[in-house]
Structure 1
């Protein structure tokens, strides 16, 4: 059943009616409050990790500080208790836990973006921090318990498997599994071996628990995202392919979906494998010897990711959805039931927003994880509805908003009058990370800049018809670079592209400097391409204004340029506190950045950068953004995780 329109939260906040335009600044007089805040910008009940044990489910939230672990009684389908995971000793704070396992009466959770291990005692409710596997910016992506209770964790960015013995606290590192690997995305274990799924190198690796000896069991067509073992066989998911191999590497078999990918699996006691697919969320069945996957049921949660599968009994499959839900599937009839976790008692919390868009004098849209929150500027009402992923960027065309969705690479439209969500389709061509979207009124087309997912360098520019969904996808338009940003000059019929030589990551770049290029929308060809600064590898954002291209570099954090489009020469260059998104408003260029406390600047090609605001925090999930009210210097933004309206008059002091 399509649940895109399910409103799961309705709040009434203090009036959000847009204030009148700020008075023109007079030297020494900058009236009015500098910052007005309006509570959490985006509220979520999304989850990442989940585990099932003795009639209870344990889920871990995504994006909340601190993360919440909720205990759900499966008989009543209600949350019966919740605990938070405290901040560990390492720098940084946990925001969620992809990795969960149950052993010895405890639930174990591996967190991100600090790769730490926690335990929750089911009997006492006690939470304990056990170990740190690395520094801030890392993930414990996967966790499993061997039959004897020993835990095995797969981590990022070191691409390793770690052993943790709960009884003693002893830790062992099994070392490099494949040169250049960053992600151990999945792990499973039996009495003798650990099985690791590598994302970048797409390998299924067996590790001897006693000796540490390693054996490659199989290589898939894409990264290995999930693993299970049953008897002498190991099952793994690699893109749209299911790998079925003996635990000694022999008798390897594969079956594949016609379209889409497989995201989660479980093995029943009789050896039947159940797996879910993306982007639809459907359920499929497989047994060793089958030559194809058999669809069991339509999606229990349409267009959702599945975080965990568990067979409750002979006829019932239990699933957990990333958007914040759980479902029960009758394997005999294909009928399913869905429960929203917020409705079940999970306490929602403030998350880091993905994107924002202002419809002047009407509403403010804030994209979160698998959701969109809408603030009515006329009444102060707040509503929330589901989306099928993370809206990385938003653009408006008439009465429709268009969202570029990760991780599916889907483009969806949202009717601002009804909240109705409609899919225009998927970019395909491996383009699952759409970073930027703009609307060209001259051609009535959407323009999308994207990157691949995983070890691939080739991004794409996509030209999308918003009425028919027809997509022209220009892969590798900047050779061996993905696209992070684009900026439209509709009058000239050009779109300017900002590149990233690292692509999806996980494979060595062939270029050393990020390019900017001019793409002709009539001929669909690149007119010119330039590398403004040698050695600077990633443009986070670009914006064309008044004959200049302004650009902010990412990994060379805070470097910005103004490039003369006629001569392709840099006319101004400077250093900001960090990177973020550029905005043109009332003939001036602004940028909001990460780091240094969270800052906003006015950029001028003659005078350089002027700091306008500081102390905004670093709580955006993607680019920090500014959305100005027409005719004023007031911009919607974030202050911490709260929605805020900030006066950014270039004539006023910071």
Structure 2
């Protein structure tokens, strides 16, 4: 006979393996609490987006012999910390690599020429250093608990300055003494000290979520704010800065304009519109030119004397993260060459004399699997996986073949929706909607084509539902802004109609549709970097034709986000908010029941909490880091999976998919349940076996006598023989897998999984009132079969 998904139980609970000669109930073992054997089991599907090399910030320096180096902190994930790595720019070899003790992402790295050391900070707050030649990274601790480090710069005298989030503070570190000093919030109300440029006397600081520029006087400790030109008053961030002679060059977002500020006169003397990339180079050896990239022109040389610029004929397909003037000790690259790093771990070199170039790829750098942001069910039956700051792209998992395909170029995905054969996904930043025809090959730029942007300061399209011929989209605004939006996108025309602040100062993070009306759930949070002003999340009803809000209520007092809205077959709306499940009657527009079923948990947008009604009649919920099954008639809950579960999608067979960090999992209802054993019986056993509570496992057992399973208890029998009847009434689960039973089998009213697989029964089989229905495969019965155990 063919065996189906039957792992051995021999290694389970080895200390409990007993050969009993008396009934289990009399064996002196304290019974465990009843634990139902629910249908299905968890499968690990691995990392759908593997091997990501992403270093959000880079820096360059040299070792003691003057050999140039590039420094990376490649991002990790929830399971794997980030990794510090150093590349020798002359040879292209990775000369040092160490997985960090803590911290996942880094946007802060600087090389101090004063002491020949690279310093780097993590968004989780850790600060590290490494001096070329050291055998290990030095852990400098978490200087300011609760504050992530978002930018670093070393002053000429070796003092290292850092900017933080969410306090927007400027701090300094003295390597000579090990002293940290917090100099306070750089600009009142600004939560990110996003970019820094330190000189002998001061530190320039650029902020987010409002683009503000200030100078810190190192002697007096005072901050002096500098007003940007009027047209940038509503910009979001001063992102990058470089000091070149007496000029401060700063890039602002979202325009990406480069502003040239004369620090002597206190005036802005030039604006270069729409540059591309993170960084502006230091002046060349002549002191006259700095370099940066413009997408349509490639790298350009900016003349600090004339404030004009011209392309140099070098167009690397990347935007710069750091620049350095480097001696390659190579006759093809005489003098100093310009070296540019890119956050995917790549290095580009250009020599201004010979115009020769060199490329060093990322193959030798070590990355980590990409953290999953969201899951979606495609109209083609695939399960789609979006990931954080995803340079590789998104993934498609094929439930039929088990194959995972990488779809390059998708970016960071916040949510998925469908219409017809099309998969639509929302991309961060700038709230782009991309439309993928799943019947045609993936070709980024063509299928899907260029993104359609949601305007009105939106950034994260998270919730999708089709209503008529349009797709409704719920979104979160940009950093530092309150007021998400409900947008209606018409795929036929490309038109987007946006209704912002349908619930004032709240984001729209969940959607459902019924009878032509939209039902939306909100989060009190806006974009990162701003505190909410609302105190309770709401449920609203909107008319998609007009955008008018027809009803607004707080379904769960004190809830910070309403998520995972879904309708049942009777037209009742179900939702979850911070651990509380509720139902809502669209007819009376009232909450009909509300009960906290799960541990209370909060997140910015509650994207980890979703709902799904399966064909078995149960409601499945991801909430509080677990996957739950809820009986909609009794509201009884069963925890299926735990430990950091987030997001939820389903395939056409009704199997459920969820994420833990960077890993994808499936709750496969076709797999045999594997509840842990409280007591294991193996070998010969004479006499009855009575399972009164907990889970009893028969593993390679030969039982001469009856087996009785009491209400709530679980029996798991594998590769065993029972010479007597097997009876279960109201059991928590009954699994017979590879078992020979000489006698009748009767399973009635089980509230957990019932499996009769590869089993021979000499006698009748009777199954009635079991919920869920039994799984019956390769059942060989000598006698009548009654009720649910008749094999198809």
Residue in 2 that maps onto 1:15: none
Give the match for residue 71 of structure 1: 86
- Mapped to 1, the partners of 2:498 and 2:416 lie a distance apart of 19
Alignment correspondent of 2:262: 246
Q: Compare CA radii of gyration and give the structure with the larger one.
A: 2
Shift of residue 289 of structure 1? 8.1
Q: Which residue of 1 aligns with 2:619?
A: 589
Q: Check if 1:203 corresponds to 2:212.
A: yes
Check if 1:481 corresponds to 2:493. Answer: no
CA contact (8 A) 1:449 1:483 kept: yes
Moved more, 293-302 or 391-400: 293-302
Cα root mean square deviation, aligned: 3.8
- 1:339-375, Cα deviation, whole Å (9 max, x unpaired): 652xx21223223211223448864332222321333
Describe the shift of the 1:272–1:392 C-alpha distance in structure 2 as closer, same or farther (beyond 3 A). farther
| Equivalent position to 1:235, from 242, 249, 257 | 249
Partner secondary structure for residue 56 of structure 2: strand
1:90 is matched with which residue? none
Correspondence 1:1-150 to 2 at 5 A: 30=37, 34-43=41-50, 44-54=52-62, 55-64=68-77, 65-87=80-102, 94-103=103-112, 104-112=115-123, 114-135=124-145, 138-150=147-159
**In the alignment, which residue of structure 2 is the partner of 1:520?**
543
- Distance verdict in 2 for CA 1:641–1:433, change over 3 Å: closer
In 2, Cα distance between equivalents of 1:551 and 1:292: 58
Aligned equivalent of 1:367, options 386, 390, 406: 386
- Which structure's residues are more often strand, by fraction? 1
* Correspondence list, 1:425-444, <5 A: 425-440=452-467, 442-443=468-469
Q: Is the 8 A contact 1:601 1:609 kept in 2?
A: no
Deviates more, 1:329-338 or 1:100-109: 329-338
Q: Deviations 1:86-135 (Å, cap 9, x if unpaired)?
A: 13xxxxxx1121110112232211012x2010112211232111131333
Q: Contact conserved, 2:75 with 2:81, CA < 8 A, in 1?
A: no
User: Which residue is equivalent to 2:666?
Assistant: 645
Match status 1:176 vs 2:185: yes
Q: Secondary structure at the match of 1:348?
A: coil
Distance in 1 between residues matched to 2:289 and 2:92, nearest whole Å: 26
Give the counterpart of 2:647 among 605, 625, 640.
Answer: 625
1:428 offset after TM fit, Å?
Answer: 3.2
Give 1:404 deviation, angstroms. 1.0
Quote the Cα distance in structure 1 between the aligned partners of 2:626 and 2:380: 26
Distance (whole Å) between structure 1 residues aligned to residue 345 and residue 419 of structure 2: 30
Out of 347, 355, 376, the residue aligned to residue 357 of structure 1 is 376
The aligned residue for residue 538 of structure 1 is 561
From 429, 434, 446, the equivalent of 1:412 is 434
1:635 aligns with 2:635: no
Change (3 A) 1:560 1:320: farther
Q: Which residue in 2 is equivalent to 1:13?
A: none
State the secondary structure of the residue aligned to 1:179. Answer: coil
Q: 1:333 to 1:216 in 2, by over 3 A?
A: farther
The 2-side partners of 1:233 and 1:333 are apart by 29
Which of 475, 500, 522 is 1:499 aligned to? 522
Report which stretch shifted further, 562-571 or 199-208. Answer: 562-571
- Tell me if structure 2 keeps the 8 A contact 1:266–1:310: yes
- Contact map agreement 2:372 2:663 (CA 8 A) in 1: no
Correspondence for 1:460: 485
Structure 1 residues 245 and 359, CA gap change in structure 2 (3 angstroms): closer
Q: Is the 8 A contact 2:416 2:462 kept in 1?
A: no
Aligned to 2:583: 562
Contact 1:309 1:317 in 2 (8 A): yes
**1: CA distance, partners of 2:423 / 2:314:** 28
Query: Which of 200, 223, 238 is the aligned partner of 1:191?
Result: 200
Please give the secondary structure, in 2, of the residue aligned with 1:211: coil
Deviation by residue 1:519-561 (Cα, 9 ceiling, x = unmatched): 22233433333333455443344334443333333xxx43443
Q: Distance in 2 between matches of 1:316 and 1:385?
A: 36
TM-score w.r.t. structure 1 length? 0.81
- 1:147 is displaced (CA, Å) by 0.9
Q: Which of 571, 582, 586 is matched with 2:592 structurally?
A: 571
Change (3 A) 1:207 1:29: closer
* 1:447 pairs with one of 458, 467, 472: 472
Matches within 5 A, 1:189-338: 189-219=198-228, 220-221=232-233, 222=235, 223-239=237-253, 240=255, 241-247=257-263, 250-253=266-269, 255=271, 257=273, 263-269=278-284, 270=287, 272-275=289-292, 286=302, 300-301=316-317, 307-310=321-324, 318-323=339-344, 325-328=346-349
Instruction: Pick closer, same or farther for the CA change 1:254–1:446 going to 2, 3 Å.
Output: farther
Aligned partner of 2:760 in structure 1 is: none
Q: Quote how far apart the aligned CAs of 1:467 are.
A: 5.2
CA distance in 1, matches of 2:619, 2:315: 45
Question: Alpha-carbon deviation of 1:498?
Answer: 2.2
Compared CA separation, residues 506 and 51, structure 1 to 2 (3 A) = closer
CA contact (8 A) 1:464 1:470 kept: yes
Task: State how far apart, in whole Å, the 1-side matches of 2:215 and 2:473 are.
Answer: 40
- Quick one: structure 1 residues 362 and 460, their matched pair in 2 at CA, closer, same or farther if it must change by over 3 Å? closer
Change in Cα spacing, 1:537 to 1:143, as seen in structure 2 (3 Å) is same
Q: Distance in 2 between matches of 1:396 and 1:198?
A: 38
TM-fit CA distance, 1:286? 4.9
Name the CA distance, whole Å, in 2 between partners of 1:281 and 1:263.
Answer: 16
Q: 1:599 maps to what in 2?
A: 626
Q: 1:254 to 1:652 in 2, by over 3 A?
A: farther
Structure 1 stretch 446-455 or stretch 396-405: which is displaced more? 396-405
Matched residue of 1:46: which SS?
Answer: coil
Asked if 1:550 is matched to 2:577, the reply is: no
Show CA shifts across 1:351-404 (max 9, x none): 321122344886433222232133344444434343253111223445543221
| Alpha-carbon distance change, 306 to 497 in structure 1, aligned in 2, over 3 angstroms | farther
Q: TM-score scaled to structure 2, two decimals?
A: 0.68
**1:44-100 C-alpha deviation (Å, 9 max, x unpaired):** 22221211123321111123322112222333445344211113xxxxxx1121110
Equivalences, count:
601
> Displacement, 1:293?
8.0
Please say which of residues 153-162 and 309-318 is displaced more in the overlay. Answer: 309-318
Q: Secondary structure at the match of 1:47?
A: coil
CA contact (8 A) 1:229 1:235 kept: yes
1:493–1:522 contact (8 Å) kept in structure 2: no
2:483 match: secondary structure: coil
